[in-house]
Chains A and B, each alone.
Chain A
Amino acid sequence: MNFESNEEQQAILEAIDRLLEQHAGPARAIELNRQGQYDDTLHQLLDESGFTTIASDLATENGPAGLEAALIVEAVARAGGVVACAAQMLVAPAVREASIAGPIALCTLDDLAKPVPLRFGAHAKTLMVLGIGDVHVIPLTTGELEPVRSSFGYPMGRLTEANRFFDLSAAGDCLGPEAAQTMANWWRLSLAVEAVGTMDAALTHTVEYLKQRRQFGRAIGSFQAIQHRLSLCAIGIEASRWLVREAAYHGAQNEAVAAAAAFTLETADQVFTETHQMSGAIGFTCEFDLHVWSMRLLALRQELGGVGGARRALVEARWGRTP
């Protein structure tokens, strides 16, 4: 057991933070979101700097280096990066050894059937579809998915009407049940990883604001009614962070992932609610950075059954099948 970074992890964290400081951040996220754009530059930089393939590059006999990849995804989320690195770095290498072209959008069969807006859908080069007992890895050309305007902080895309009923079995690789369970676990974990970085940034932003903002002749952050709630958010985020890292380290096993996601996605709702409530009206404006992170938290809670799905998966993993 060791909760401190080793030298290699420290070097990775410092390098990713340097890159993100230059090429990401809330101002860039706001600009890209305004135009519904994907951050191709950041995506390319992550590729060229070797971050994207870190899970397989640092793989050991125990499998891909999930923890190191998770640390990077957490950092990118903290910086509000508009890139699909969670799917690329955590989900794809666990599901298939051969590389999968990014950006990657993740969805379930049900998501496609409805169809719902998918994060990064309009910009994805590959669609990974979690079926019932299988995974479809579908290369996209252009135009299968169209942009959808969304309030929730990510560029979104949805299958067009013309592509609504396309034949999955004829479109790309189909992987078996093992891949399906692996994809479900890593996808669920990647949501929690992103949520940790995102919550962290939302709370930090709020705490800094509440140290400065004065009402009733004192900093808002000095009121005990505020402090206790911020403390509870901090507890939730720290516990989420370590649950998620531990689960990534152990290769995203069912029970650990479900516990980490159940706790983290519940905390995400708390952090959304509290950071907005405490930031007041300015928190709803585009000029105030909070929305870059806060709105994303709600989007992350909507995939793969959200909190309820994670809790159900946790009960099944620990105590056996539920109806």
Chain B
Amino acid sequence: MEFDWSPEDTQHRRDVQAFLEQELPENWDEMSQHGPGGDSQAEFSRIFCGRMAEKGWLTQHWPGEYGGRDCEPWRHSIVGEEMWAIGEPRGSQYMNVNWIGPAIMNYGSDQQKVLHLPKISAGQVLWCQGFSEPEAGSDLAALRTRAEKVGDEYIINGSKIWTSYCNHADYIFLLVRTDPESSRNRGISVLLVPMDSAGIEVREIPSVVGERYFHEVFFTDVKVPTDVLLGEENNGWNVVNYALQFERIGAARYARAAVTLDKLAEVAKERGMLDDPIVVDRLGEARALCEAARVLVYKVIDIRAKDRSPTADTQLARVLSTNCDNAIGRLALEIFGPESREYASFADTNFRLAMTAGVAVGATEVQLNLIASRFLELPKE
């Protein structure tokens, strides 16, 4: 055990911070108030990720043969922390580099790799994930969206819901049922579907979280060539499990929470609120939580850096990271009090962006189930 950053990693963090200072526009706070899926942030991500790609940083953790630099996951985690801490200027492209690209590398055909990986590593393509459905939320294996193979095409019918980022996406990483006789997690496949395919309709679901945050995506007789299939037909569940191991800690929520908390403490200090021992106690509690979430995420990165099989540590880290994000979102409302009632105020924005943490990418309760069975080995019965 040792817990030092290498001098190169430390320097890299400084470089990334300097790069952000230089590249982010003056109105970045306003631009980023709706999160990575907001209109202005999505458009900006194409410019920003292009610049990151020029620097060689966007996919530096990828293998050289796919446009990466074979850097350790630690290096990429530094980028992730710095990006999330400031509001994720990569927009939805963080998903591309974290898990969509790696899933294509692992399961994709040569043709798919040639088509998709260069675009992702150049920062010029936006993706969304088509997982949840009206009847398949936490219980993802209940999904019904159907892809029927007819000749050399799939015909897709069904709908997806809660789909973030799809209003600007070029592709959707789509989970469908390819075997109509199957149930649960058998008979599911992943299709890499262009979002401009005829028969796809996107509708925004207005929400209290922010603009362009949730959507429904309807598929009506959408025809795509069978070569959009990722991996083997009916093996999609394994593909998704592989991908989600990367996604569950992909967003460095604790890093954003820690930066928000620093701001809250600064405000509390300016306003004399540190005279109140309860405020001091709450700030201390929150900071400890950020640190706890960080160290568990680091443990998972260490497992990945050693190329070991994913463990339940991912779930442990995920739960704490989301708890941390939620707790600091709510603390912002307490520190700012009635001022937070104004839409897009600091506390409001941070609270809204944190409030989905425990539900996105698998509800906390699902993670706790997995910890009980895989980490504590408790019986099911």
Chain A residues near B (Cβ < 8 Å): 1-6, 9, 67, 207, 210-211, 218-219, 221-222, 224, 226-228, 230-232, 234-236, 238-240, 242-243, 245-246, 249-250, 256, 258-260, 262-263, 266, 308, 310-315, 318-320, 322-323
B2 to chain A, nearest CB (A): 5
Q: Which residues of A contact B266 (CB under 8 A)?
A: 319
Query: Which residue of chain B has the shortest Cβ distance to A259 in the bound complex?
Result: B291
State A242–B288 Cα separation when bound (angstroms): 13
Residue in A226, A231, A314, A320 whose CB lies within 8 Å of B284: A314
**Contact (Cβ within 8 A) A207 B376:** yes
State A234–B266 Cα separation when bound (angstroms): 33
Residue in B1, B281, B284, B316 whose CB lies within 8 Å of A5: B1
Q: Which residues of A contact B369 (CB under 8 A)?
A: 224, 227-228, 231
Given A2-B3, A219-B381, 14 other A-B contacts at CB below 8 A?
Answer: A6-B2, A221-B379, A227-B369, A228-B365, A231-B369, A238-B299, A239-B320, A246-B3, A262-B285, A308-B277, A311-B283, A315-B274, A319-B265, A320-B269
Q: Which residues of A contact B375 (CB under 8 A)?
A: 231, 234
- The 11 sampled A-B contact pairs (Cβ below 8 Å) are A219-B379, A228-B372, A231-B372, A238-B316, A239-B292, A250-B3, A266-B288, A312-B284, A313-B284, A320-B269, A323-B274
**Provided the pairs A227-B369, A227-B378 are in contact, do residues A1 and B4 lie with their beta carbons within 8 angstroms?**
yes
**Provided the pairs A262-B285, A319-B269, A323-B274 are in contact, do residues A231 and B381 lie with their beta carbons within 8 angstroms?**
no
B304 to chain A, nearest CB (A): 11
Interface centre among B262, B289, B368 (most CB of A within 10 A): B368
State A258–B306 Cα separation when bound (angstroms): 30
**Contact (Cβ within 8 A) B298 A1:** yes
Interface centre among B293, B369, B379 (most CB of A within 10 A): B379
A97 to chain B, nearest CB (A): 24
**Provided the pairs A2-B2, A234-B376 are in contact, do residues A312 and B381 lie with their beta carbons within 8 angstroms?**
no
**Contact (Cβ within 8 A) A311 B281:** yes
**Contact (Cβ within 8 A) A314 B379:** no
State A33–B372 Cα separation when bound (angstroms): 33
Digitize B288-321: 1 where CB-to-A-CB distance is under 8 Å, 0 elsewhere. Answer: 1101110110110111011000000100100110
**Provided the pairs A228-B365, A234-B316, A319-B265 are in contact, do residues A210 and B378 lie with their beta carbons within 8 angstroms?**
yes
**Contact (Cβ within 8 A) A262 B3:** no
Query: Which residue of chain B has the shortest Cβ distance to A233 in the bound complex?
Result: B376
State A191–B2 Cα separation when bound (angstroms): 21
State A211–B288 Cα separation when bound (angstroms): 32
A87 to chain B, nearest CB (A): 23
State A258–B316 Cα separation when bound (angstroms): 22
**Contact (Cβ within 8 A) A9 B1:** yes
Q: Which residues of A contact B367 (CB under 8 A)?
A: 231
**Contact (Cβ within 8 A) B302 A3:** yes
**Contact (Cβ within 8 A) A230 B376:** yes
A205 to chain B, nearest CB (A): 13
**Contact (Cβ within 8 A) A3 B378:** no
State A211–B380 Cα separation when bound (angstroms): 10
B245 to chain A, nearest CB (A): 17
**Contact (Cβ within 8 A) A231 B371:** yes
Query: Which residue of chain A has the shortest Cβ distance to B378 in the bound complex?
Result: A221
State A318–B269 Cα separation when bound (angstroms): 12
Q: Which residues of B contact A235 (CB under 8 A)?
A: 296, 316, 319-320, 371
**Contact (Cβ within 8 A) B284 A311:** yes
Q: Which residues of A contact B305 (CB under 8 A)?
A: 1
**Contact (Cβ within 8 A) A263 B269:** no
**Contact (Cβ within 8 A) A249 B3:** yes
Q: Which residues of A contact B275 (CB under 8 A)?
A: 323
Q: Which residues of B contact A246 (CB under 8 A)?
A: 3, 295
Q: Which residues of B contact A210 (CB under 8 A)?
A: 378
Whether B280 is near chain A, meaning CB under 8 Å from some CB there, is yes
Q: Which residues of A contact B269 (CB under 8 A)?
A: 319-320
**Contact (Cβ within 8 A) B3 A318:** no
Whether B253 is near chain A, meaning CB under 8 Å from some CB there, is no
Query: Which residue of chain B has the shortest Cβ distance to A321 in the bound complex?
Result: B274
Whether B287 is near chain A, meaning CB under 8 Å from some CB there, is yes
Residue in B1, B298, B368, B371 whose CB lies within 8 Å of A67: B1
B36 to chain A, nearest CB (A): 26
Q: Which residues of B contact A249 (CB under 8 A)?
A: 1-3
B272 to chain A, nearest CB (A): 9
Residue in B265, B281, B287, B365 whose CB lies within 8 Å of A308: B281
Q: Which residues of B contact A230 (CB under 8 A)?
A: 372, 376, 378
Query: Which residue of chain A has the shortest Cβ distance to B265 in the bound complex?
Result: A319
Query: Which residue of chain B has the shortest Cβ distance to A245 in the bound complex?
Result: B1
**Provided the pairs A4-B306, A231-B375, A315-B280 are in contact, do residues A222 and B381 lie with their beta carbons within 8 angstroms?**
yes
**Contact (Cβ within 8 A) B287 A314:** yes
State A211–B372 Cα separation when bound (angstroms): 11
Chain B 41-88 residues near chain A, CB threshold 8 A: 74
Chain B 316-367 residues near chain A, CB threshold 8 A: 316, 319-320, 365, 367
State A242–B367 Cα separation when bound (angstroms): 20
**Contact (Cβ within 8 A) A3 B274:** no
B231 to chain A, nearest CB (A): 31
State A210–B258 Cα separation when bound (angstroms): 37
**Contact (Cβ within 8 A) B280 A234:** no
State A260–B288 Cα separation when bound (angstroms): 7
State A222–B295 Cα separation when bound (angstroms): 29
Q: Which residues of A contact B277 (CB under 8 A)?
A: 308, 312
**Contact (Cβ within 8 A) A242 B372:** no
Residue in B265, B280, B289, B296 whose CB lies within 8 Å of A238: B296
Q: Which residues of A contact B292 (CB under 8 A)?
A: 236, 239-240, 243, 259, 263
**Contact (Cβ within 8 A) A228 B368:** yes
Q: Which residues of A contact B365 (CB under 8 A)?
A: 228
Q: Which residues of B contact A232 (CB under 8 A)?
A: 319, 368
**Contact (Cβ within 8 A) A262 B284:** yes
